[in-house]
Amino acid sequence: MKLGEILTADSDEGFANTASSQQLSHFHLQSYLQAADTALEEAFSRALGKDPSFEKRYGKMELTDGLGKGNYRGPEPAGNEVIAWAMGVQFYGRLPATIIPEDGWYQVTVHDARGINRGDDGAVWATLNSGSGQSNEPLQFPIGLVEGAEQAADQTYRAWIRKGHCLILKPSEGGAKYAPSNVVGKDGGTVIFEGRDLEQQGYHGLHFSGITIQRIHPNGDRAVVFNNLFPGLTRKEIQEGPAKPLVEAKRLLETFAARAFRRPVSAGTLAPYEKLVAAALSSGEAFPEAMRHGYHAILCSPNFLTFVEAPGDLDDHAIASRLSYMLWKSLPDQKLRQLADQGKLRDAPIISAQIDRLLADPKSSRFIESFTNEWLELRDIDFTQPDPQRFRTFDPIVQQSMLAETRAFVAELFREDLSVTHFLQSDFAFLNTRLKEHYSIEGVDLVAGNGLAKVKLPPDARSGLLTQGAVLKVTADGSVTSPVVRGVFVNERFLGQHIDPPPPNIPAIEPDIRGAVSIREQLEKHRDSMSCASCHARIDPAGFALEEFDPVGNLREFYGRPGKSAKIDSSGTTPEGHDFRNYPEWRDLHLSQPDMLAEAFAGQLLRYGTGGEIRFSDKQAMKTISESTRIRNHGLRSLLKATLTSPPFLEK
């Protein structure tokens, strides 16, 4: 990663929903048309035809099908159960018997999972993925992490799985000793277990009794889907055709369009869709098919695909849409639409109450995931792969745990209205036994098998959002860290300081991946240029402070091996002239400026919630938001409410 690359990014500071970066091509339009058709195909099929269902439990016989035959990669039979071992052979862990019959959401339960030869953290960790498990389609999709503790326990997951994919389950801890596969034969061979006792030999294994896969519909059962398409009609009326088809069609179209367009629809707006349905009926098409034409046209309308917002004060329906899409990533529900119809959504107390209601709903998890993906760039966590020779204990389990840690932490700050100072220092964290071991955190009690848990941290432990592994990984690459990359990130995402792109013709710096020459030494020469010095005076301090953390989020004292690489120097001077010797001192300097942290975070919420850039005219509003939440120690929920009732959010 070159140090200049981060400075050439667009000015949206990472938010993919910024209006200025949105595009609509012919390809996008064609994709929208296809997506609408696919959604309606499934909805009509479920409402009027066969509601897809699937549930099956796979025991030892199914899970070991193919044992002794060519290209076997499954678990070892053990009595009435099976054991998945830590093996490095390609596609080990695939379970061909679990092939998924149709695209969809599934609930997967691993029964009676327990660890064999558990590690120091008291568990054996395994990844549960879906995929074809074949070399011509090697990509796998994460479903969850299986934690095999001492006591056997069922573990359940939900995931979207593609048709034709199967489950792939295997222990995958970085640094663990892999059992020899004893692969024999042609075309990749087959794993054999005869004549070996892998448990006796000390290899990690996950013992389980079976797997159950069940098709689920988390967004609504068949009755909900039917009512969304044909409210007020019976199945018989739909199949035989209502007595007054044009009258019913108009009523259904108006109801459907009002939800899709997120506001009441006028007769003029509705007229083209009525004509489309009337033409289909007159040509002899059945009532359901005629309605499908009208619904498809509605779902392809700009009124559905885009926010229609007139400049100036937003009307109540536009406010309802902003609130719902920000906190639920979906259409406003009946309560929001009702308040909008009554003209009550410009009332700050009512908006505040609705924010509480929306955050209390499980759908608010979409906001946490989407917002952290954008604000903290967690969507890019797979962009780089840490060097396995240098970071042997880093693995997919650690990475997925890091994502869960950060999202749980941010959700807790919103839920409990905790201060923005928790971005830099906190007395709690969300950890599982694998993360605790990875971070080498002492003095924290965790029970293997309980997954991610909120724990109280010792006073001297690393803490706060900024030192979490997910944040540190997305601001580094697989081999090195960069004070410039991390410095720009901290300034723009936490301190509210926009960093301009570098001047033209300024060469980027390539860090020494061996660590023989410190990045600080290279930057000193880079900063000799007057055109570079002013920006680096703002960028580098935060980046230098975070040099204490390596690309996978661990504390370090050297860039490489002690005595064979440069020593970490995390000292610096802030733009205000305050010296610091290390990250804790840099952190303490900024903990004394909570108003600045709050104002910066309000800006991030505004960018995300409005899809607009922060303008100079918005600065006073951000300052007002910060001042209004000072009495509540700048709690995140208080900041959210103040932001979503501020003029920049309620205006266009």
Helix/strand/coil for 217: coil
pLDDT at 8: 32
Average pLDDT, the chain: 90
Q: What is the 3-state secondary structure (H, E, C) of 296-318?
A: HHHHCCHHHHCCCCCCCECCHHH
* Six-digit token string for 452: 């991610």
Per-residue model confidence (pLDDT) at position 533: 67
Cα separation, 139 vs 170, in Å, equals: 15
Percentage with pLDDT > 70 across the chain: 92
**CA atoms 66, 69, 71, 73: torsion sign:** positive
For the chain, the straight-line distance linking the first and the last C-alpha, in angstroms and rounded, comes to: 38
Question: Please, which pLDDT band fits residue 205 given cuts at 50, 70 and 90?
Answer: very high
For the chain, give every domain's residue range. 24-51+221-305, 55-216, 312-360+599-652, 363-474, 475-592
Q: How far apart are CA 234 and CA 288, in angstroms?
A: 12
DSSP E strand stretches across 24-66: 55-58
Contact yes or no for 492/521 (Cβ under 8 A): no
Between CA 460 and CA 47 the distance in angstroms is 58
pLDDT at 508: 60
More confident call, 187 vs 486: 486
Instruction: Report which of 113, 90, 98 is spatially closest to residue 66, judged by C-alpha positions.
Output: 98
- Residues 194-199: what's their mean pLDDT? 89
pLDDT tier at 501, thresholds 50, 70, 90? confident
Indicate if the pLDDT at residue 218 is higher than 50: yes
Q: What is the pLDDT of residue 563?
A: 74
> Could you give the CA distance from residue 647 to residue 250 in angstroms, rounded to a whole number?
38
Look up residue 430 and give its amino acid: F
**Contact assessment for residue 628 and residue 642, using Cβ atoms and an 8 Å cutoff:** yes
- Radius of gyration of the chain measured on its C-alpha atoms: 28
| Host H or E run for residue 166 | strand 166-171
Q: Are 93 and 139 in contact (CB under 8 A)?
A: no
Q: Each residue of 166-187: pLDDT tens digit?
A: 999 999 888 888 888 776 655 4
Residue 615 corresponds to which tokens in the numbers above?
Answer: 């303008």
pLDDT at 507 over 90: no
Region of poorest pLDDT, from 361-365, 392-396, 639-643: 392-396
What is the residue type of 533?
A
- What is the CA angle 272-274-275, rounded to 5? 65
Mean predicted confidence (pLDDT) in 201-216: 96
Query: DSSP state, 569?
Result: -
pTM: 0.92
| Mean pLDDT of all residues in 507-512 | 58
Instruction: State the pLDDT confidence band at 7, using cuts at 50, 70 and 90.
Output: very low
Cα–Cα dist 28/34, whole Å: 10
Is the predicted pLDDT of residue 142 greater than 50, yes or no? Answer: yes
Query: Is residue 208 within 8 Å of residue 32, measured between CB atoms?
Result: no
Judge whether 309 and 597 are in contact, CB under 8 Å: no
Q: Among all chains, which residue has been given the structure tokens 């400049």?
A: 311
Lowest mean pLDDT among 19-28, 538-547, 587-596: 19-28
Whether 532 has a pLDDT exceeding 80, the answer reads no
DSSP string, 530-565: HHHHHHHHHHHHHHHHGGGB-TTS-B-SBSSSTTTS
594 pLDDT higher than 70: yes
11 pLDDT band (50/70/90 cuts)?
A: very low
pLDDT tens across 300-310, in order?
A: 999 999 888 88
More confident residue, 191 or 416: 416
Give the residue-averaged pLDDT of 545-559: 93
Query: Of 265, 286, 359, which is closest to residue 44 (Cα–Cα)?
Result: 286
Q: For residue 217, what are the CA distances in angstroms to 214, 484, 487?
A: 10, 46, 44
Tokens 């006796």 -> residue: 200
- CA distance to 135, 185, 473, 514, 591, per residue, from 468 (Å): 35, 46, 9, 25, 17
| Least confidently predicted of 5-14, 67-76, 174-183 | 5-14
pLDDT the model gives residue 248: 96
How many CA within 13 A on the CB side of residue 201?
Answer: 13
In this structure, of 200-204, 282-286, 517-521, the range with the lowest mean pLDDT score is 517-521
DSSP 8-state code for residue 113: E
Numbers of helices and strands, H then E, in the chain: 23, 15
Averaged pLDDT, 255-275 = 96
> Percentage of the chain surpassing pLDDT 90?
71
Look at residue 221 and tell me whether its pLDDT is greater than 60.
Answer: yes
Residues 383, 6: Cα–Cα separation, whole Å? 14
Helices marked H in 417-511: 433-439, 469-474, 483-493
The span from the CA of 401 to the CA of 391, in Å, is 16
Whether 191 has a pLDDT exceeding 50, the answer reads yes
- CATH architecture of the domain 55-216 equals Sandwich (2.60)
Distances in Å between the Cα of 142 and the Cα atoms of 22, 145, 382, 410, 548 are 29, 8, 12, 22, 31
Six token digits for residue 70: 């060519």
- DSSP assignment, residue 607? H
Q: Mean of the pLDDT values across residues 633-642? A: 98
Read off the pLDDT of each residue in 373-387 and give the average, rounded to a whole number.
Answer: 92
Q: Predicted confidence band at 565 (pLDDT cuts at 50, 70, 90)? A: confident
CA 354, 360, 363, 366 dihedral sign is positive
pLDDT of 10 above 50 = no
Q: Which residues contact 546 (CB under 8 A, 6 or more apart)?
A: 466, 472, 475, 481, 483, 486, 490, 570, 583
Q: Is 55 helix (H, G, I), strand (E, B) or coil?
A: strand
DSSP calls for 285-299: --HHHHHHHHHHHHH
pLDDT at 529 over 70: no
Residue 20 burial class via C-beta count within 10 angstroms: exposed 0-12, middle 13-18, buried 19 and up: exposed
DSSP annotation string for 169-186: EEE--TTPPPBP---BSS
CA distance 500 to 11: 8
> What is the pLDDT, as a whole number, of residue 2?
33
Q: What phi, psi does 487 have (nearest 5°)?
A: -65, -45
Higher confidence at residue 479 or residue 140? 140
